[in-house]
A and B are shown apart, each in its own frame.
Chain A
Amino acid sequence: MEQREAIQNFAGQYEKIREEIAREMVGQAEVVEHLLLAVVAGGNVLLEGVPGLGKTHLVRVLSKALDLPFSRIQFTPDLMPADITGTNILVRSEEGTAFRFQKGPLFASIVLADEINRATPKTQAALLEAMQEHSVTVAGETMALPEPYFVLATQNPVEQEGTYPLPEAQLDRFLFKVLVPFPTLEELSGIMDLTVKDSGRETRRVVGAEELLAMRETARKVPIAASVQEYALKLVLATHPETENAPEVSRKYLRFGASPRAAQAMLGTARVRALNQGRFNVAFEDINYVAPACLRHRLGLNFEAVTEGRGTEDLIREIMEHVK
């Protein structure tokens, strides 16, 4: 009965989180939706947008709504891996001097990796273990990170000079890549109002860590019909130009396609969306909703695509049309 209650309350809890975030965030509904889907599904998110759109603010608000420890890492070219993972420091005590591990900013539930593409690949790689295994290994010692654990990274699509594009292996560890669009006039107006008027209200805790984990566990039980799962898998396969039934657009413009993690991401987040929509099954529309965010950072464009100016968005759209 508790389980039934938990299932039936899922959508309500989800909606409460969204509402709480919306009180502090003007617009960006799709971004918030994708972020929540990924967080509930237990994945990491890469937010891409120009500076000043509220990406950092969004993550902060999220952490408050979920009442989860939050840390922010501003990635710079001189950032070292130890700066984010932590390091052993020499501590003098009554017993004498000893090395003590000083935890780095990775040891939080929600880690905001700001402008992750500005750090060196070595530092970027330090995040890999944390993102995938939720653990950190320093000097041979592996330490678990708290659950739930999310890495929400941001990057600037402009100012590419002096940046280090994330390697495909690291990109693959992000569940979603969410594009943060520039606000509309109304949204800008709302942002101004929010900035000037101080409501004096803090973001309230909606759900805690345990409840979030419970929501995650509930979402994992949502059944998927074989045809729907097959559709998601076909989408992933269609992004590979070397496969037999790959569409023409894949053969022509893609260097490589999405990994199986893309399929896991699609199915996991589609389950969350289905429950959020009040259903107890995954539908094709759920897959269609989450597919672009799952695929856009996992496709490698070839030279022809770059020269012809073909972007991943319209390629993904064409691939989805083909598979449909």
Chain B
Amino acid sequence: MNEILNALRPVVRRLRLNRFRAGASAGLAVGAGLALAVQVLSFWIPLPGKGWIMAACVAACALAAGTGNALRKIPPRMAAEAADGCGLKERAVTALEETGDGEMAKLLREDACRQLQHLDPRRIPGPRTGRKLLAALGCALAAAGLFLVPNPAERQMAEEAAFRQELSRAAAQAEEAAVKDEKALGEAEKSELRKLAADLKRDLEASRDRADALVALDRAEQRAERLRQRTAADALQSLADALTAAGMEALAEALKTGDEAALAEQLEAADTEKLAEAAEGLEGSAKEAAQALASAGANGDASRAAAARSAMDALDAESRQAVSNLSSALSKLNAQMGGTGTKTASSQGEGDSEKGTSGKGNSGSGSSGMGSQPGGGAGRGSTNEDMGTGQAQNSAGAKGSEAAEYREGQYETIYDPERFGRATRDEMTNLNRQGEDSVQVETGPGRGTLQGDVPYGEVVREYAEAGTQAADRANLTDREKQWVRDYFTLLADQ
């Protein structure tokens, strides 16, 4: 028996190889099918590294199936039958079954061993893999063909990747700007500036969409503004302290109020030498301001006025220069991201009328940022989408705009005068304003006026609640949400 088993070893090896091929071809078909499924799935679910996943599916399935199939036990009988199939005429199988010790059995085993030794295992027919390979090829071709079809999920992934890159660039720019600003700051301010830059970087990296990035930028801008104001205030305070220490309290007070005229007046009585001494102990813009004050001539109002102006300018410069790089970088980034762009004094020095507006949409200049129609409450102009419509449209796939969709139904429910059964047509009404000429305003359904048909007092709380809830749900910055709250607060106060 042992000699037969030994003689069957080459056949067993060949069968294992055949099994591996059969398993691998089946695995290839399954893997190609899986790859096709991954490819189809990628049209709905973004899959990073999809190509690698598909390749891994094919390779892993082929290898696993081939190996698993090859490692299955091959009974000696199976090997004997395979060998007999190559023309041994049942010698091997009979030799395996015949366990007797008679001469016939011995002759049979000798004959079988002899024949097995002369048998070329390659004659053993291989597995039929044609269909499986065809199936694999079909799936592979289908998967490859789908690469030519526009993939919305991949486009979304590409946009996200671009967005991430944009955020990384923004974080780098902000960091670079912060490094530039560090040179002009004291240690405490430096530390805060670094923390600001690090927090901004972290927030940008954690941003899921453009709205989150805008919120992060806005938050950083506010912190930069606070830092700027504190730095400017510190400079002013250190100068005032130096002046007070030098016995020039009145001058210090005039400086604090920022009144140039008063400052120039105080300079008349000031000791310029003491001023110069005080200036030596200061740094930065405080020193500059002090030197400017010290340079005031004893003669002439003009020179004192100039000195006062110079001092104020120096302090303003501090106000402007502190974290200026970071602030302008943040403003630029805000504009690039399609945000409202907080216009700080350091960047533009313009008034609050421009806060929260992009100058687009129907907000109108000169009006309060929210509520484009007079007394219209939370009308169309107040949604995030409308505030940033232009920018949102410019940046393809801006996610912030998707979430803050104008929910027309909700607004109409609130502002529909039909609800109170008092719908009227539009008409012109005289609006008398105290101390001013009367003006004519257009009133009508849904437009609140002092003489509107909607009972304002009855609904303002409901409107306020709905409006603030809507603002909280929408993708607005904190400042914008506060605007909504402030608006209704003001209305309620009235």
Contact = CB atoms under 8 A, between A and B. Distances in A.
B107 A225 contact: no
Interface stretch (A88-96, A154-162, A252-260, A275-283): A275-283
B98 interface: yes
Given A223-B97, A223-B98, A283 B90 contact: yes
A281 B90 contact: yes
Interface stretch (A2-10, A78-86, A109-117, A296-304): A2-10
B89 A222 contact: no
A221 B89 contact: no
Contacts of B93: 225, 227
Interface string B231-274: 00000000000000000000000000000000000000000000
Interface in A213-250: 218, 221-228
B104 A282 contact: no
Contacts of A228: 90, 94
Contact of B94 (A3, A221, A225, A285): A225
Given A223-B98, A281-B95, A7 B89 contact: no
B107 A8 contact: yes
Nearest to A224: B94
B94 A281 contact: yes
Contact of B103 (A4, A227, A279, A284): A4
Contacts of B95: 281
A281 B91 contact: yes
Contact of B108 (A226, A281, A285): A281
B90 A280 contact: no
A7 B90 contact: no
Interface string B7-49: 0000000000000000000000000000000000000000000
Nearest to B115: A279
B107 A282 contact: no
Contacts of B90: 225, 227-228, 281-284
Contacts of A283: 89-91
B111 interface: yes
B111 A280 contact: yes
A199 to B, nearest CB: 38
A107 B100 CA distance: 39
Interface of A: 3-4, 7-8, 218, 221-228, 279-285
22 contacts: A3-B104, A7-B103, A218-B104, A223-B94, A223-B97, A225-B90, A225-B93, A225-B94, A227-B93, A228-B94, A279-B111, A280-B91, A281-B89, A281-B90, A281-B91, A281-B98, A281-B112, A282-B90, A282-B94, A283-B91, A284-B89, A285-B89
